[in-house]
Structure 1
């Protein structure tokens, strides 16, 4: 059941990221442009909630499977396929899936990167500019004993979590060294 929940949260997070871009692209011709502000707030809250839920579920899975050599090898293999995050301070090392989960769960400050789409009338006249959440985020801990800062690609994180659980269920990995 936990594996299915991880896959569901992975897809929900990815859908929110894609929908955010589509909303911004459509805003120049939208019937209700004033509704765009409410949608942006909704997407921000949902993206944050889904990222935390996915991170918590992945940690639960990792904690329950961490005694398995096969799980450890698979999580390392999937994590190495796509960079999903990197530390910015005090080190610049790449992050493991477990690192990303921990930072999403324990961040004191979350700063979502924004992209911008400019809508024009086809004659070069700017109609409006729309911002959207790109799915990339900078997370910061302000704990004086353990301060850190990192950058995470939430879409790559969702993909890695989905791929990891899909391969675990299908047995598409080497179970012994």
Structure 2
């Protein structure tokens, strides 16, 4: 577009120069030179704008984080519960009040976080959690264990007898898997 404009102006200016006096020719040539320099300056400015736009685009592209989708939670379960070093792998085993705290060990395949623990249907307000790698080299987002530590204050007011524990694990897609166990609390 700019090149066409310059050509048209050139033709008009040259045609006009042929039909005017020498003084007018000098004035027209000066004007024509000014127009050419202005067009060149506009072209240089446009090139610089394009370079700036490219640099901004490159910076913008570099700042966009790559989002890696975590693997969906496909398997979740309570593996065991532990009282003061004694491991329980079966449901309805006896837990001694004197051997508290109680630790719940879960196993999962896929990415997820513990989102709830309840005892006898009552959600616990808080519990200490940790996610651990099962084998060296395993991606913790693909397979891992989570340990939930229930200190004495969380279960000291429970009566002797059978109690049900439910644990929920939720992934980033909103998939929630649950598992649980019962234990028999005694003094």
* TM-score normalised to structure 2 length: 0.23
Identify, as 1 or 2, the structure richer in helix.
1
> Which structure would you say has the larger RCO, counting Cα contacts within 8 Å and 6 or more residues apart?
1
Identify, as 1 or 2, the structure richer in strand.
2
Larger Cα-atom Rg = 2
